[in-house]
Amino acid sequence: MTRVVAIVPAAGKGLRLGGGVPKALRLLGGRPLLVHAVEALRRATLVDDIVVAAPAAEVALAAELLGPSVRVVEGGAERVDSCRLALEAAPAAVDVVLVHDAARALTPSALIDAVAAAVLAGAPAVIPVVAVTDTVREVDPTGRVVRTPDRSLLRAVQTPQGFHRDVLARAYALEGLLVTDDAGMVEALGVEVTTVPGHGDAFKVTTPADLILAEALLAARNAAPTRASPGTGPPRLEKGSDVVFEEGKLFQEGNARG
């Protein structure tokens, strides 16, 4: 049977987030970002193995946090080096690889499964994408606008990105590529890259504002009832709906006062 490994680059310094510890160890709801990301991978039904690339000084701590079912290796200087090292440590029997940033801590497991399913169905390279909300302009080095691409054709790219193992290994063997993600390298090989719909919750925690957003999202997830509970006061709404309910209440109270 085809085996799926998720490799998790988590060896970055997190300079833009700050805080004096590697980003993967920054806490979200009291637990490291890395633990959230790995738990989502564990909840995904199509992921068989997980390999994490951690900062050199944190390999032992990461291994302790994640338990014996997760392999933890030392990462490298750049993200691509960390990915390469993690892929080398993946079990030999694996033929589908998902590459997933530790910093995308709240990625839904359903998205992870959707990417894995598309690769298992035969696509050599699959990326989750979302529509771009800002207008994007291309500028020259002096800042002068050169071009305004049609926004309806632009997509922001998330992780996990999924690949046939041999395709990704060939991409990592290329030297000196100036690309910012794994699919960019695969594209350079001339391999077709296909897309699946991404998810807003799969955003990358990069700046302090992103961490605040992640805390709010996690709190909303934890507060949302997962089922209706009749007989305990006013009817509870389904998961995800109670925020609207509260806002509605506030609005009515405001009206009553006005």
Binding site for ligand CTP (CB under 6 A): 9-17, 23-24, 53, 75-79, 82, 101-103, 204, 206
Q: Least distance to ligand CTP from the beta carbon of 221, Å? A: 21
Considering only the stretches 8-16, 54-62, 90-98, 157-165, report the one whose residues sit in contact with Mg ion under the rule CB under 5 A.
8-16
When the beta carbons of 1 and 15 are compared against ligand CTP, the nearer one is: 15
Q: Least distance to ligand CTP from the beta carbon of 173, Å? A: 19
- Which alpha helices (H) appear in the chain, and where do they start and end? 33-43, 59-66, 79-88, 109-120, 165-172, 182-188, 208-223, 242-257
132: DSSP letter: -
For 156, the enclosing helix (H) or strand (E) is strand 155-157
When the beta carbons of 77 and 153 are compared against Mg ion, the nearer one is: 77
Q: Least distance to Mg ion from the beta carbon of 34, Å? A: 15
Residue whose C-alpha is closest to residue 97's, from 197, 174, 8, 225:
8
Q: Least distance to Mg ion from the beta carbon of 12, Å? A: 5
Q: Least distance to Mg ion from the beta carbon of 9, Å? A: 9
Considering only the stretches 10-18, 66-74, 87-95, 130-138, report the one whose residues sit in contact with Mg ion under the rule CB under 5 A.
10-18
CA–CA gap between residue 251 and residue 248 (Å, rounded): 5
Indicate which of ligand CTP, Mg ion, none lies near residue 34 (CB less than 5 to 8 Å, by partner kind): none
Place of tokens 């940033």: 101
C-alpha dihedral (49, 53, 90, 123), degrees to nearest 10? 70
Instruction: Give the total residue count for the chain.
Output: 258
Count of residues near Mg ion by CB under 5 A:
1
Binding site for Mg ion (CB under 5 A): 12
